[in-house]
Structure 1
Amino acid sequence: MKRVIILFTFLLCISSCSDDFLEKKSDKSIIVPTTYNDLQSLLDNNVDVFNMDPGLGFIGSDDYTIEEMYWQYLNTPTERNAYIWNTEIYEGETGYDWNAAYKQVFYSNVILEQLDRLDPSEAEINTWNTLRGSALFFRSMAFFNLLQLFASPYHANDLEGKPGIPIRLTADINAPITRASLRESYDQVIADLEEALALLPVHAAYKTRPSKTAAYGLLARIYLVMRDYEKAKVFSDSCLVHSSALMDYNQLDPAKARPIAQFNEEVIFHSTQTSYGIRVDAYVNVDLYASYDNNDLRKVIFVRNVGGKPVFRGWYTGSTRLFSGIATDEIYLTRAECFARLGDKDKALADLNLLLQNRCANGTFVPRAASTAEEALAIVLAERRKELLFRNTRWSDLRRLNAEVNFATPLTRTLNGAVYTLPPNDGRFVYPIPPDEILISGIPQNAR
């Protein structure tokens, strides 16, 4: 009972550290957990700490629109300003996404340091390995998510002088805070996951816990963002070896409010996005909605009509929380894109058609065809857009595709007659670091 109280105190203390998280002080000598069960309990805190990803990328994306009357009454200035891509977004608010991600980093470091103090017996070594691999997975995912918001897009031939993020590898809150380079930041993300791969089980007992299969999937996502298509394909292959199921949308009931079940067979790793209020008032981008064929079941599974407006409901979470985890449909699309970019249009279309066959009404599926790899790539990217909406992948996709003339996308919003634009490669594709963090740590701010 005493251990439970201590652990609860630890969780309460850390959960309260939302402002200036990197600088908060705590008395770890009193509240640090000491047993494997304690450490697993920390990793299973998927409501307040882990299994949550930033939502600013979704807010800035073109997956949706909101009407002016709803925009005015959004919960926070951050949401209102991020929606119209203002240079300054916080208006004195702390940066929730920044703090939440570094809370995950801190938890992970506490767990890693405590594991280093333990001497596992032969009977305990698998538990020790899984805990260490899980902490490394979560730290890597947190760093990667931060890079998608607060650092420049990754281009292998343009890394010199590009700042990354603070890479915190210790739970010591007195350690100096500096921004690593962009290259060093991605190197750490990859290093954490590569070590985790050797430690994690192929499948986890629960989809909220990391696994080797999830690590393969996350590496595929990361290397796609890095535009390393050979490695993204390799890790997609490895992921799909262990988890390749696809739902047949003909078996789903569009009459249900939530047609897609939580922890369904496509989910490899469950994670959700920050619950910004903007998602409640969002309508699916009308051009995106119009792009679905009438025989495409995603048009009725992903969307319901509310007052003539297309409202998203294709959650892979079983609730109105937006999914941001890893699922097989994303991995098939990643591998298809890699095949196309590597010149193998037939394999690209084979992966894509396998997915689409499970998305079309029975008897209506017509396989996609292309005469060149470039044509296949355009088809794959169009379907990626339609499959992964509201998944928190679009912001990263916009950033990486802006480097390509054929796929660069200018963004536009209109509110009360005013037109707001975000051109490709604009500095506002990198969010500002919260000013309170700049004030305390002295790290350089992003130019916008």
Structure 2
Amino acid sequence: MKSTHQLYLTIILLMATTLLASCEKFLNERPSKGTSVLIQNASDLNALLENYNSFSQENNNITIHGTDDNGFSVALYNARPTTFTIPQIEFTLWDKTDLANRDVSDFSGTNFWTSEYNKVFNANLVLLHVDKVTGTAEEKANLKADAHLIRAYSYWQLATAYCLPYTEANKNEPGLPIKTTPDYEVPARSSLAETYQLIEADLAEALKITVPLVQNGKARPWRANTAAANAFAARYYLNRNDYSKALTYANASLSLYSTLINYNTEMSFGTASTVSIDPGTANARTVTLTFPYMHDREASFDPTDAFAWKELLYYRLIHNTTQWYIPSQSLLSLYDQNNDLRYKYHYTQGFSYRRGMTSPSVDYPGYVFFADTKILEGPTVAEMVLTKAECQARIGDFSGAMTTVNLLYSKRTVTGTAPLAAASQDQAINVILQERRREMPFAQRWADIRRFNTNNYANDDVPVITKTFYPYTPSAVQSTQPTQQYTLPANSRRFASPLPQTDINNSAGAIKQNTY
């Protein structure tokens, strides 16, 4: 945007977004709707960042479908082929060529690449104008820190999806087109090293924020805050395999806010639903599907429950348009299904019926959090506990690491369940990584596999992910042909997803596609 006129028109459009009435108890002040206001003071820029709908959703399909947490299978496909789309299958099997040409990274609407760059644009808008408006020095400083956190977070998400993992060998590989101003010029891709340098610089600025998570007795996780900035720093440095820094920032975040939810006393089922299966047969019956209480407003998603989730530090949700987080058998096998309350509340048995597999019936679970489509991605207290425990174990304090991880495990399992135990550093790391996978399925697994395969510790490597499926074309699955194996080996160039071809075409050659 190159004029004040364009600036305030952008703000007007964003302010006109209808915010859900059920969230009013969480918002002390709201931008007015549909009012033309010249941007003159810090509160006007604050209104832009207050619109959480512009920043919260992540249509990150490689994270949803591309790991060994995803249980898509030939058997499920055969049960009801129309449940699954070709793009979903392509993400599952790490197809690159057709996904780029399709340019439908979220199966409908704006792709992940574009949506994250929209967030970068808004952050850049604030950074460009914050020194030109009236307001206190503290207000301006916190707006800057907020915008830097948004930009760092989005560039990190983009790099994790579209670039190779950072290593010394990869640092000169293609990174991202770096945008630090809100204009429409399209820069070439920077190097991976330059991309990470910007993320770290933004992160350093974000850490200057002085706004606490809890204000006037209410948490405001949709905005940057001290606990969130430190939590993202912990996540970033964990993924850089810098365990000392990650531990420092995890401890800093936990020192600011450390509330954990006890699933024994604070978790419950919400409204159940019923489904009729196998009609007209001897097995015809009605089954009841159970969901955690946060799922009750699923039909018309209401972020109130996400804001009220006491562990949430920064409001970011993965959005899955296929409406089914399909857990793999390897993921399900990690749970103590009698005592782990996450298995009880977050895995809806018979979820496959909800996706149309009713006649003949096929019974398969689904992972559920806030809705069929939405799960946590933003940093949480639980993630910080796991980060602290992992870092303690990796730097040699495996006894302390087990004490830390059991702070979380005791809140997630039936009272009296034996704590997690380990007799060595290697055992402790393995136990903690299993707990990490149980606590954050789908959301962090893609990034975790990337870092496991590029650190100097062989025991956590994921040498290859293997899927079995039919051959397919861009338009059809060839289900009459024999199945074949699809693999994603460690350090494959397919750990960088293809950039949307439309954006490459629109760049007039400035942006280059990934090579495979």
Query: Which TM-score band (shorter chain)?
Result: 0.7 to 0.9
Whether 2:312 is the aligned partner of 1:267: answer yes
Quick one: which of 5, 11, 14 aligns to 1:11?
14
Quick one: which of 152, 157, 174 aligns to 1:145?
157
Residue 177 of structure 2: SS of its match in structure 1?
Answer: coil
State how far apart, in whole Å, the 2-side matches of 1:73 and 1:178 are.
Answer: 40
Which residue is 1:327 aligned to? 380
Which residue is 1:107 aligned to? 122
Whether 2:205 is the aligned partner of 1:161: answer no
Which residue is 1:357 aligned to? 410
Which residue identity does 2:71 align to in structure 1?
T
CA shift in 2, pair 1:237/1:192, >3 Å: same
Q: What do residues 414-442 of structure 1 show as CA deviations (whole Å, max 9, x unaligned)? A: 33534322122211111011112222322
Quick one: which of 292, 298, 311 aligns to 1:258?
292
Check whether the contact 1:152–1:162 (CA below 8 A) recurs between aligned residues.
yes
Which residue is 2:89 aligned to? 80
Whether 2:191 is the aligned partner of 1:188: answer no
Which residue identity does 1:52 align to in structure 2?
Q
State how far apart, in whole Å, the 2-side matches of 1:235 and 1:115 are.
Answer: 28
Check whether the contact 1:252–1:259 (CA below 8 A) recurs between aligned residues.
no
Which residue is 2:331 aligned to? 288
- Give the TM-score normalised by the residue count of structure 1: 0.86
Check whether the contact 1:258–1:318 (CA below 8 A) recurs between aligned residues.
no
Q: What do residues 299-354 of structure 1 show as CA deviations (whole Å, max 9, x unaligned)? A: 102212115312112x2x47741211110111111111111110110111111111
Residue 412 of structure 1: SS of its match in structure 2?
Answer: strand
CA shift in 2, pair 1:82/1:34, >3 Å: farther
Which residue identity does 1:302 align to in structure 2?
H
Of stretches 416-425 and 214-223 in structure 1, the one that deviates more from structure 2 is 416-425
The CA RMSD measured in Å over matched residues stands at: 2.7
Quick one: which of 187, 190, 208 aligns to 1:198?
208
Number of equivalences: 420
Q: What do residues 177-199 of structure 1 show as CA deviations (whole Å, max 9, x unaligned)? A: 02222122112111112112213
CA shift in 2, pair 1:267/1:379, >3 Å: same
CA shift in 2, pair 1:63/1:80, >3 Å: same
Q: Is there any run of 5+ residues in structure 2 with no aligned partner, and where?
A: 18-35, 106-110, 271-290, 295-304, 351-361, 471-482
Residue 90 of structure 1: SS of its match in structure 2?
Answer: helix
Which residue is 1:60 aligned to? 66
State how far apart, in whole Å, the 1-side matches of 2:266 and 2:16 are.
Answer: 43
Which residue identity does 1:326 align to in structure 2?
P
Residue 174 of structure 2: SS of its match in structure 1?
Answer: coil
CA shift in 2, pair 1:445/1:320, >3 Å: closer
Q: What do residues 18-37 of structure 1 show as CA deviations (whole Å, max 9, x unaligned)? A: xxxxxxxxxxxx99744333
Check whether the contact 1:204–1:210 (CA below 8 A) recurs between aligned residues.
no
Q: Aligned ranges for residues 18-417 of structure 1 at < 5 Å?
A: 33-47=39-53, 49-56=54-61, 57-66=63-72, 67-68=76-77, 72-73=81-82, 77-88=86-97, 89-93=99-103, 95=105, 96-120=111-135, 124-155=136-167, 157-174=168-185, 176-203=186-213, 205=215, 206-256=220-270, 257-260=291-294, 261-262=305-306, 263-273=308-318, 275-278=319-322, 280-293=323-336, 294-306=338-350, 308-313=363-368, 315=369, 317=370, 320-363=373-416, 365-390=417-442, 392-403=443-454, 404-409=457-462, 410-416=464-470, 417=483
State how far apart, in whole Å, the 1-side matches of 2:244 and 2:48 are.
Answer: 36
Of stretches 225-234 and 82-91 in structure 1, the one that deviates more from structure 2 is 82-91
Q: What do residues 129-183 of structure 1 show as CA deviations (whole Å, max 9, x unaligned)? A: 222111111011010000101111122x334422211111111223x50222212
State how far apart, in whole Å, the 1-side matches of 2:80 and 2:461 are.
Answer: 27
Report the CA distance between 1:253 and its aligned residue: 4.5
State how far apart, in whole Å, the 2-side matches of 1:211 and 1:76 are.
Answer: 39
- Give the TM-score normalised by the residue count of structure 2: 0.75
Report the CA distance between 1:373 and its aligned residue: 1.4
Whether 2:438 is the aligned partner of 1:428: answer no
CA shift in 2, pair 1:170/1:3, >3 Å: closer
State how far apart, in whole Å, the 2-side matches of 1:413 and 1:252 are.
Answer: 38
Check whether the contact 2:314–2:378 (CA below 8 A) recurs between aligned residues.
yes
Larger radius of gyration: 2
Report the CA distance between 1:356 and its aligned residue: 0.7
Of stretches 217-226 and 400-409 in structure 1, the one that deviates more from structure 2 is 400-409
